[in-house]
Chains A and B, each alone.
Chain A
């Protein structure tokens, strides 16, 4: 078990920096996710750690030792690929045994360790099958067994669940968690799925345009994203640029005026360093009432008038798009009640639920790059 220190790593392809100055530390035995949209550099970062590509700047240390001069076959890393990358002409047994045979492990020990690894991923009885005779989920398990059997210092997973269907993906997520816990191997997991990252990780590193946009534990990153970009990527639907006003609005709240809108929202948070901020609030934190049926909160600050523009039914609730004249764009709000398109409503944004975010990138930056 080893920790991984990535410091100031950069990689350039021709004129384009695929990764620029990426730094993070994956503590020994932890599960770290690199989260970001396609093209954000997360897979490149993983490939640099694995040694499949040479880095142009920076340093990667595994267990305290720099590995940049080591070729991939001397790094002792387990890698699981999105497309499994099983050797098609070898049986499951030979696939899993490949790494042990390269290490000249004795035949009897190889057999025992392969059996143990196949057992760990829950595939006994399939050792003599060929990859093409297995389902996608089974192939992914073989890939995992093949990577783990060599007892790697670090397990690198490149979107391993993306090629599986939804049901299998949820199942494999639990499996991955169990296997990681049982083996205790330091794992670095690349994904574009925030849910995967949140459920699996001890630490999430959000990447954007080849740089680290934020890194924190799942709970922290969920509750207080570092920046508007991170919030956007973690599913904060409502993001509005704003300016923090002087003084306190009421006891313990700040008055923040929304850019291009008349609304001045009260936010229960500490004063940020910069006056220019992005206000963020999740749809499920917003309360929605029919106009006229208003309660206490609906008359207070942070209550706005609006009209239902569109709605989508998501099973557990209904997601509404509400046009509020006081806001520059439509508000996304979740409610249990049924409203029709065109209904007049009143929405309330609780001061405690609004986050003040660093405006490092405009909302929607996630698709700024192909």
Chain B
């Protein structure tokens, strides 16, 4: 993007804040996380970071973080796409209302929502009672204090990001493109797969990037819905920092999360640049 004659001074405050509040903590994270464990050791010492991969609990948390983030991303994509498609085809009045419904959860704190889910998904909650009433299960199954709870909570938390990303591109699609495809013999199913999906690819990519990175770094939702026995990287980090007061190990997990994030963004960018080469 060209800055042109845009006064750089206007951007300075925020850029300065970014430098102080993002770059500085990252540096401190690296300093702390790579601190030598032994008195004699030298900086950088990768023992702690590698220790995360070595310890059973660290490895479990890492795997669980990746697994949950991928599942949440997939669910948001599969469930969010039809919603976005539906909203984009609605008249302006309904579209505004539905959009408000989609955005509404943003107004409620993640903590409140997590408690809400705890009630709904608990042993005597609506979900279990409903499933028993339908005869699908005989006794309550565990839906919270485990991965299911985290997945449900995070999906609810992050769905709007996916829907809004998709809506942004869906609403820009020229309806004549659909008509053109139809006139050329494409059935609605064919139009969807061959025209609508490719045209919404940029939105899908934005949505997955947002949802995955937010799912990976979410804390309150997995903390409250996952319970103590299903640690993910962020909750493990919290335990190390505030229960064990081992800031070095906590920083090491921070570094792992950072690597994971950078890795995902890199893969994402690679996929986008290949898939979107023709979009200009």
- Shortest Cβ distance from B273 into chain A, in angstroms? 14
A7–B94 Cα distance when bound, in Å, is: 35
- Given A81-B176, A85-B174, A89-B198, answer yes or no on A73-B182 (Cβ-Cβ < 8 Å): yes
**Interface mask (A58-77 → B, CB under 8 Å = 1, otherwise 0):** 00000000000001111111
- The number of chain B residues touching the other chain, given as a range, is 20 to 34
The total number of A-B Cβ pairs within 8 Å is 74
**Interface mask (B168-205 → A, CB under 8 Å = 1, otherwise 0):** 00000010110111111111001000110011010000
Q: Are B279 and A88 in contact (CB under 8 A)?
A: yes
- Shortest Cβ distance from A188 into chain B, in angstroms? 13
Which one of B177, B186, B201 contacts A102 once the chains associate, using CB atoms below 8 Å?
A: B186
Q: Are B279 and A89 in contact (CB under 8 A)?
A: yes
A130–B280 Cα distance when bound, in Å, is: 9
Q: Are A103 and B176 in contact (CB under 8 A)?
A: no
Q: Cβ of B278 < 8 Å from any Cβ of A?
A: yes
User: Which residues of chain A come closer than 8 Å to B182, judged between CB atoms?
Assistant: 51-52, 71-73
**Interface mask (A63-107 → B, CB under 8 Å = 1, otherwise 0):** 000000001111111110101011111110000001100110000
A132–B199 Cα distance when bound, in Å, is: 14
Secondary structure type dominating chain A contacts: loop
Q: Are A73 and B186 in contact (CB under 8 A)?
A: yes
User: Which residues of chain A come closer than 8 Å to B194, judged between CB atoms?
Assistant: 98
Q: Are B199 and A89 in contact (CB under 8 A)?
A: yes
User: Which residues of chain A come closer than 8 Å to B186, judged between CB atoms?
Assistant: 73, 98, 102
- Shortest Cβ distance from B192 into chain A, in angstroms? 13
Q: Are A99 and B184 in contact (CB under 8 A)?
A: yes
- Given A79-B179, A83-B176, A102-B190, answer yes or no on A132-B184 (Cβ-Cβ < 8 Å): no
- Shortest Cβ distance from A127 into chain B, in angstroms? 14
- Given A83-B174, A87-B195, A89-B278, answer yes or no on A146-B184 (Cβ-Cβ < 8 Å): yes
User: Which residues of chain A come closer than 8 Å to B190, judged between CB atoms?
Assistant: 73, 102
The residue in A83, A85, A86 that gathers the most chain B C-beta atoms within 10 A of its C-beta is A85
A86–B199 Cα distance when bound, in Å, is: 12
User: Which residues of chain B come closer than 8 Å to A51, judged between CB atoms?
Assistant: 182
**Interface mask (B242-271 → A, CB under 8 Å = 1, otherwise 0):** 000000000000000000000000000000
The residue in B177, B179, B181, B195 that gathers the most chain A C-beta atoms within 10 A of its C-beta is B179
- Shortest Cβ distance from B92 into chain A, in angstroms? 14
Which one of A77, A83, A87, A103 contacts B183 once the chains associate, using CB atoms below 8 Å?
A: A77
A160–B181 Cα distance when bound, in Å, is: 17
A103–B183 Cα distance when bound, in Å, is: 12
- Given A73-B185, A102-B186, A150-B185, answer yes or no on A81-B279 (Cβ-Cβ < 8 Å): no
Q: Are B180 and A85 in contact (CB under 8 A)?
A: yes
Which one of B181, B195, B201, B278 contacts A130 once the chains associate, using CB atoms below 8 Å?
A: B278
User: Which residues of chain A come closer than 8 Å to B195, judged between CB atoms?
Assistant: 87
- Given A87-B177, A102-B190, answer yes or no on A78-B183 (Cβ-Cβ < 8 Å): yes
Q: Cβ of A268 < 8 Å from any Cβ of B?
A: no
A86–B201 Cα distance when bound, in Å, is: 17
Q: Are A90 and B278 in contact (CB under 8 A)?
A: yes
Q: Are A52 and B179 in contact (CB under 8 A)?
A: yes
Task: Name A292-316 residues within 8 Å CB distance of B.
Answer: none
Q: Are B198 and A79 in contact (CB under 8 A)?
A: no
Residue of B nearest to A74 (CB): B185
Count of interface residues, chain A, beta-carbon cutoff 8 Å: 31
Which one of B179, B201, B278 contacts A72 once the chains associate, using CB atoms below 8 Å?
A: B179
User: Which residues of chain A come closer than 8 Å to B199, judged between CB atoms?
Assistant: 88-89
- Given A85-B176, A87-B177, answer yes or no on A79-B183 (Cβ-Cβ < 8 Å): yes
A88–B176 Cα distance when bound, in Å, is: 12
Residue of A nearest to B180 (CB): A85
Q: Are A75 and B183 in contact (CB under 8 A)?
A: yes
- Shortest Cβ distance from B279 into chain A, in angstroms? 6
Q: Are B177 and A85 in contact (CB under 8 A)?
A: yes
Residue of A nearest to B195 (CB): A87
Q: Cβ of A50 < 8 Å from any Cβ of B?
A: yes
- Shortest Cβ distance from A287 into chain B, in angstroms? 49
Task: Name B152-177 residues within 8 Å CB distance of A.
Answer: 174, 176-177
- Shortest Cβ distance from B244 into chain A, in angstroms? 52
A91–B187 Cα distance when bound, in Å, is: 21
User: Which residues of chain A come closer than 8 Å to B187, judged between CB atoms?
Assistant: 71, 73
User: Which residues of chain B come closer than 8 Å to A103, judged between CB atoms?
Assistant: 185
A50–B175 Cα distance when bound, in Å, is: 14
The residue in B177, B182, B279 that gathers the most chain A C-beta atoms within 10 A of its C-beta is B182
- Shortest Cβ distance from A200 into chain B, in angstroms? 21
Residue of A nearest to B179 (CB): A52
Q: Are B183 and A50 in contact (CB under 8 A)?
A: yes
- Shortest Cβ distance from A135 into chain B, in angstroms? 15
A307–B176 Cα distance when bound, in Å, is: 52
A72–B187 Cα distance when bound, in Å, is: 9
- Given A73-B186, A73-B187, answer yes or no on A88-B181 (Cβ-Cβ < 8 Å): no
A78–B201 Cα distance when bound, in Å, is: 27
- Shortest Cβ distance from A300 into chain B, in angstroms? 57
- Shortest Cβ distance from B172 into chain A, in angstroms? 11
User: Which residues of chain B come closer than 8 Å to A75, judged between CB atoms?
Assistant: 183
User: Which residues of chain B come closer than 8 Å to A130, judged between CB atoms?
Assistant: 278, 280
- Given A89-B279, A132-B280, answer yes or no on A72-B183 (Cβ-Cβ < 8 Å): yes
5 A–B contacts from the bound complex (CB under 8 Å): A50-B183, A72-B179, A79-B179, A89-B279, A156-B183
Extra pairs beyond A52-B182, A102-B185 (19, CB < 8 Å): A52-B179, A71-B182, A73-B185, A73-B186, A78-B183, A79-B183, A83-B174, A85-B177, A85-B179, A86-B180, A87-B177, A87-B180, A89-B199, A89-B279, A91-B278, A98-B181, A99-B184, A99-B185, A147-B183
Binding site for A on B (CB under 8 A): 174, 176-177, 179-187, 190, 194-195, 198-199, 201, 278-280
Give 9 closest A-B pairs by Cβ, nearest first: A99-B184, A102-B185, A85-B176, A72-B182, A79-B183, A85-B180, A132-B280, A81-B176, A89-B278
